[in-house]
Amino acid sequence: MLEIKGSVAVVTGGGGGIGLAIARYWVENGGKVVIADIAAEPLEKAAAELRELGGEVETVVCNVTDEDDCGKLADTAIEKFGAINLIAPFAGIIMDGLLLSTDKGLARSKRKWT
Ligand SMILES: NC(=O)c1ccc[n+]([C@@H]2O[C@H](COP(=O)([O-])OP(=O)(O)OC[C@H]3O[C@@H](n4cnc5c(N)ncnc54)[C@H](O)[C@@H]3O)[C@@H](O)[C@H]2O)c1
């Protein structure tokens, strides 16, 4: 089992919601985090909160649907902390808020299929 103390978590959607809650838990247990979010302002607020808890925190403004941004995120984690031990993918990119929708028609109608 992964020992959190000293381990590095990369958390997408880390500016709020589940991502921030996981990042909080991680630093409270001695882990280091790289939090990434598409929204810069909530991301910096989240980082300030995590640093208040004593956490070692790095931030990356990152759109997880952009491959270059994801590469930059991985590079930043390695450059800053030398490892990635956990990836917690909580960027809110699911449009209806559910991993599984029982209403295919509704879910599809909201999406832009390319
Ligand atoms: N809350 C729940 O009960 C629940 C249950 C199952 C699944 N989920 C899914 O888990 C994910 C997180 O849920 P949450 O409640 O924390 O949502 P949230 O909206 O509170 O937080 C999502 C975060 O992701 C960021 N984000 C949105 N698009 C992004 C992108 N393209 N790149 C990077 N960051 C982006 C937002 O700025 C926000 O800070 C969502 O995809 C949601 O659908 C949530």
Report the distance separating Cα 10 and Cα 100, nearest Å: 24
Q: Is 18 a domain residue?
A: yes
Q: Is 91 a domain residue?
A: yes
3-class DSSP state of 87: strand
Say yes or no to pLDDT of 3 above 80. Answer: yes
Q: What is the mean pLDDT of residues 89-104?
A: 72
| Residue 14 CA, ligand 1 centroid: distance in Å | 9
Q: Quick one: pLDDT at residue 93?
A: 84
Q: Is 2 a domain residue?
A: no
Q: What is the mean pLDDT of residues 30-48?
A: 98
Burial pattern 75-93, b for ≥16 Cβ within 10 A else e, equals ebbeeebeeebbebebbbe
| Residue 71 CA, ligand 1 centroid: distance in Å | 20
Q: How confident is the model at residue 114 (pLDDT cuts 50, 70, 90)?
A: very low
Task: Give the closest residue (by CA) to ligand 1 atom 32.
Answer: 63
> Best mutation site among 11, 18, 65, 87 for ligand 1, i.e. most ligand atoms within 8 A of its Cβ?
18
Sequence-ordered list of residues with C-beta below 8 angstroms from that of 88, at least 6 positions apart, any chain? 9, 10, 11, 12, 19, 22, 23
Q: Is 3 a domain residue?
A: no
Q: Is 81 a domain residue?
A: yes
Say yes or no to pLDDT of 87 above 70. Answer: yes
Q: Taking CA 78 as the corner, what is the angle to CA 72 and CA 82, rounded to the nearest 5 degrees? A: 170
Q: What is the mean pLDDT of residues 82-89?
A: 98
Report the distance separating Cα 112 and Cα 46, nearest Å: 30
Q: How confident is the model at residue 113 (pLDDT cuts 50, 70, 90)?
A: very low
Amino acid at residue number 60: V
Q: Is 1 a domain residue?
A: no
Q: Is 14 a domain residue?
A: yes
Count how many domains the chain has.
Answer: 1
For residue 46, give its domain range: 8-110
CATH code at position 106: 3.40.50.720
Q: Is 54 a domain residue?
A: yes
Report the distance separating Cα 111 and Cα 114, nearest Å: 9
